[in-house]
Amino acid sequence: NKNRAEWVLPCGEAPRADLFVVPSTNAVVTGNSSADAAGSGSQQALSVAQVDAIRASQAKMGDNSYYYAVNKNLGNTITPLEPNVPRAIAALSHSHLVREQTIASYAMMDGEAKVKVNIPLAGAKSLPSNGIAVGFFDRSFKLKIRPDANTELSLNVPLLLERIEPAQCSVKVLDGRIVLHLVKREVDKIWYELRKTKGVGDSEYDKLVPWEGKLVVVTAGGSGAELPSEAAPVCLTGPPGKLR
């Protein structure tokens, strides 16, 4: 009979239990109906919305849900969804956060074969033994100093006035200061400034490429305790990037 409707009503449910009455249309999930339990072999079909409602009831009421009995006694194939547990993501502890400070005070001294860059730093000789890293390029350098694992002092010069010999450059740790020795590639050139600036009518400036050439890294430090390897300063190729 096309107009005949079958209803399955629960008995003995817990107070305030969720009840759903659904017609058997728009089938997407099938299972044994009450007629199946009596041996008739007919099928009951549920829509997507009905399945969602059933799962919501199961999630809220657990064993008290009427649909728990449907699953258990009538062989219904609907199963509750696994709870959506957020994936745990490891967070950096505060001890691994590094504060970066730009070195604003330094002085340049031009010599015949090299240029010296003096950076005043109180307690320089007490720096960690691996607390300094300098990366020299053909016409650039980046200096990184870590007095401790959480602080980094940096001086980055993307374009020097003239070219240097990266493999011959060095860094010295003295009382109250750090000194960079930049070996000139052309010793007859006079350095009147450290950083190359664009002058009036300078058509070559825009052709210069910062951080060009092979990177040569020199490390140094003071008499302080060595930093863990993951906290020691690092110089990489290319422009200065994020702190690790």
Query: Half-sphere exposure of residue 97, counting CA atoms within 13 Å on the CB side?
Result: 5
* 63 pLDDT more than 90: no
Least confident range from 3-17, 47-61, 106-120: namely 3-17
In sequence order, what are the beta bridge partners of 102? 154
Local confidence band at 241 (pLDDT 50, 70, 90 cut-offs): confident
Percent helix / strand / coil, the chain, rounded to 5: 20, 25, 55
Is the pLDDT higher at 128 or at 45? 128
Tell me the average pLDDT across 43-57. 67
Local confidence band at 4 (pLDDT 50, 70, 90 cut-offs): low
pLDDT tens-digit profile of 182-207? Answer: 999 999 999 999 999 998 989 999 99
- Crossing angle for the helix pair 66-74 and 48-61, to the nearest 10 degrees: 110
| Close Cβ partners of 124 (under 8 Å, ≥ 6 residues apart) | 173, 174, 175, 176, 177, 178, 222
| pLDDT value of position 56 | 75
Tell me the average pLDDT across 34-49. 50
| Close Cβ partners of 206 (under 8 Å, ≥ 6 residues apart) | 198
Tell me the average pLDDT across 61-80. 59
